[in-house]
Structure 1
């Protein structure tokens, strides 16, 4: 995968995570129902949204790290063994820092 394609893929992924994070934060700021039974369900939903927010934040950090590796010329190299990450793996997981073998060991 060439650097230009990788950059486009990573920026697209970054934008997706950022939009997801914005939507989750908006939902978490919304007010709750006055009905106590509905409030209980809404609070459970809030717990799920907080977990999803953490995942989106982690995804943003992973993409930022991948963009940094791209700028430094290390993108597509495994951060554990130094070997090449298969192009198919990078297409499926553009921000991955590891080859399939090292990911299996983690």
Structure 2
């Protein structure tokens, strides 16, 4: 018996992660829209926190784009094939990075 996940199982996994990322990005945007404190020390800490939140938000947006592309590959039947060489992407790699567009060899 194979442990290979079906396209619908991968779609559900990707859609779940997409919902998590959407919530996180919206929470970050809400936090970044909050007024800046007037106290100098608080404002300095806020600026540092803002940099971290912006980086997290940008990382989330990149992952959202990668997941959207993976969902399109599922729809076209190209999911699980390396975009570069066309070989199958290992199931273990897809378990770790379900939106992976490249096999491990090509990703190196």
- What's the CA shift for 1:83? 0.3
2:93 to 89, 94, 103: 89
> In the aligned structure 2, how far is the partner of 1:91 from the partner of 1:19?
22
User: Over residues 12-54 of structure 1, what are the superposed CA-to-partner deviations in whole Å (9 max), with x where a residue is unaligned?
Assistant: 1111111110111011011122201110110111111111111
- Count residues in correspondence: 104
Q: Does 1:44 align with 2:48?
A: yes
> In the aligned structure 2, how far is the partner of 1:89 from the partner of 1:7?
16
- What's the CA shift for 1:94? 0.6
- What's the CA shift for 1:88? 1.1
> In the aligned structure 2, how far is the partner of 1:19 from the partner of 1:94?
19
Structure-1 residue corresponding to 2:81: 77
RMSD of equivalent CA atoms = 0.8
Structure-2 residue corresponding to 1:32: 36
TM-score when scaled to structure 1?
Answer: 0.94
- What's the CA shift for 1:95? 0.5
Q: Does 1:2 align with 2:3?
A: no
**Which runs of 4 or more aligned residues in structure 1 lie more than 3 Å from their structure 2 counterparts after TM superposition?**
none
- What's the CA shift for 1:59? 0.6
